[in-house]
Structure 1
Amino acid sequence: MYLFTEYNSPYLFALSFVLLIGALEIISLTFGHFLSGVLDAHLDNYDSLSSGNIGQVLHFLNIGRIPSLVVLCLLAGYFGLFGILVQHGWTTLLQAPLSNLLLAPVCFIASVIAVHYSGKIIAPWIPRDESTAIAEDDYIGCMAMVTGHSAMAGMPCEGKFTDKFGQIHYLLLEPEEGHAFKKGDRVLIIYRLSATRYLAELNPWPNIL
């Protein structure tokens, strides 16, 4: 296997990115900073990134559950690994590399899917600040905002709320039978239906909250 060849360049670059981020994180820790924490705090300042299609993509990539820098490293790592392995198998069988114009998009899509599922697995193992962590059952009684287009009973959409520590949480919200939500509605979370789905009702105190 010829690793350092031209057709492996995009995938080697991705793996080099992972190594670079790891080195920068170690350097930042020596100066008392947490590089991934700085990036997450910066992203929180942009509300447009937490709603609509962009918000759904970030939620799919588990940004919010795990640090965004970890997500980037996983994405680059999977992309590089998939690309090199496929090129190795292809050249072994056919004695010629596969076009990266075809392979790179396929590897990227596969990497996004891999990040989605592996992120869920590693999320509970990533250290968090216990003083600002809340359990998912604690979402009940919180006021959230609907960020998806619409929701009906049995057909939830995405919503978000900010807890008392200033952390943003994303979840799926649906109304009771006979009611509907639209984007921008403020709702009260009243019951947990599953791991990510919650029953909610329209803000019962619109003149107060």
Structure 2
Amino acid sequence: MEAFLFAPENIVFVSALVLMLLIGAVQALGFAGDAGLDLDTDADLLGWLGLGRLPLLALVALFLTLFAIIGLLGQQAAHDLFGGMITPWIAVPGAAVTALPATGVAARIVAPFLPQDHTTAISLDHLVGSRATIVTGRAASGSPARARVEDHHGQAHYVMVEPDNGNQTLEEGETILLVRREEHLFRAISHGDHYLPRI
């Protein structure tokens, strides 16, 4: 068995298994984290391969596992049938091409059993139309105050606000309505100036 695994024709496949085990160890120790990657490639192809269904490192580990298993099984079959193994120049590309669709299928099978990433992060633009409360300062034109607003997840955000009407002032403790955003600053009106039905 050792002679088969460490034969020159199988080194690439065994190395893939070792790399997969290293990735698993790194993930288990928590060093890899949940790194987000912005991949500017064809979304249909990546979806077909399973990206989006599984974290990228899990998908890489799955591909490496399937690549190694397909390669070793292919070499074992060649050895049993023909008395010798296939040259790596043919076996490695063949195993890689076969492992790609197999990875996509396996990702669809495995994904429902893995915990899914969930985020409550929102764009600040989603706060427009929300009620807020002035918590620090007095907002006037050219003099923003700090306000507290909750998003639809119940998460609190602290934003800087100025009155939408240049002649208006918004006092500390006052309930306001965020009506628009200008970069890091929100424009607001007094809640009494606008009827906002409760949800």
Equivalent in the alignment of 2:34 = 37
Equivalent in the alignment of 1:119 = 107
CA distance in 1: counterparts of 2:54 and 2:64, whole angstroms: 16
Contact 1:21 1:73 in 2 (8 A): yes
CA distance in 2: counterparts of 1:58 and 1:78, whole angstroms: 17
CA distance in 1: counterparts of 2:80 and 2:49, whole angstroms: 33
The structure 1 residue matched to 2:67, chosen from 79, 86, 90, is: 79
SS of 1:122's equivalent in the other structure is helix
Output the TM-score relative to the length of structure 1. 0.52
CA distance in 2: counterparts of 1:62 and 1:129, whole angstroms: 15
The Cα RMSD (Å) is 2.1
**Which is worse superposed, 9-18 or 56-65?**
56-65
The structure 2 residue matched to 1:91, chosen from 79, 89, 105, is: 79
Give ranges in structure 2 of 5+ residues lacking alignment.
121-151, 154-199
Q: Which is richer in helix?
A: 1
CA distance in 1: counterparts of 2:117 and 2:16, whole angstroms: 30
The structure 1 residue matched to 2:21, chosen from 19, 22, 27, is: 19
Distance 1:95-1:129 versus aligned 2 partners, 3 A rule: closer
SS of 2:34's equivalent in the other structure is helix
Output the TM-score relative to the length of structure 2. 0.55
Following TM superposition, the consecutive aligned residue runs of length 4 or more in structure 1 with deviations greater than 3 angstroms are 129-132
Give ranges in structure 1 of 5+ residues lacking alignment.
133-163, 166-209
Identity %: 28
Contact 1:36 1:67 in 2 (8 A): no
Question: 1:36, CA displacement in angstroms?
Answer: 5.4
Contact 2:5 2:11 in 1 (8 A): no
- Give the counterpart letter for 2:98 in structure 1: A
Equivalent in the alignment of 1:106 = 94
Question: 1:55, CA displacement in angstroms?
Answer: 2.5
Whichever of the two has the greater Rg, that structure is 2
